[in-house]
A = this chain, B = another copy of it.
Amino acid sequence: MKIAKVIGTVVATVKDPSIKNLKILMIQPLDEQFKSDGDPLAAIDTVQAGPEDIVYYTMARESTLALPDPMSPVDAAITGIVDEVYLEDKGIVDREKIFA
């Protein structure tokens, strides 16, 4: 899984019926020190993540396993909210330290 920050919301009126009531968030992938890394993408939210939350997300077929309907045509889902990362050589990395 990769770590990301919630940066926005995608508004789509025409979408597959299987995900009609689910929120699509824009997320910015982060590296292990919570710095931006790569391009933002759209992901289905399964954990009620809010703006600027640090989350981890799951890609491809396995992302659908977190959805009400596992046969949904979805390839990225937010599946957890990250409190902090502990790195052997740097100690605790968390939102407060980085974004303060």
Which residues of A approach B to under 8 Å, CB–CB?
1-3, 6-16, 18, 24, 26, 31-32, 37, 39-43, 46-47, 51-52, 56, 58-66, 70-77, 79-90
Contact = CB atoms under 8 A, between A and B. Distances in A.
Interface of A is mostly: mixed
A88 B52 contact: yes
Contacts of A40: 31-32
A34 to B, nearest CB: 12
Given A8-B90, A24-B80, A31-B40, 18 more contacts: A1-B24, A1-B41, A1-B76, A2-B41, A3-B42, A7-B89, A8-B86, A9-B86, A11-B83, A12-B80, A16-B80, A31-B39, A32-B39, A58-B74, A60-B60, A61-B62, A63-B75, A65-B73
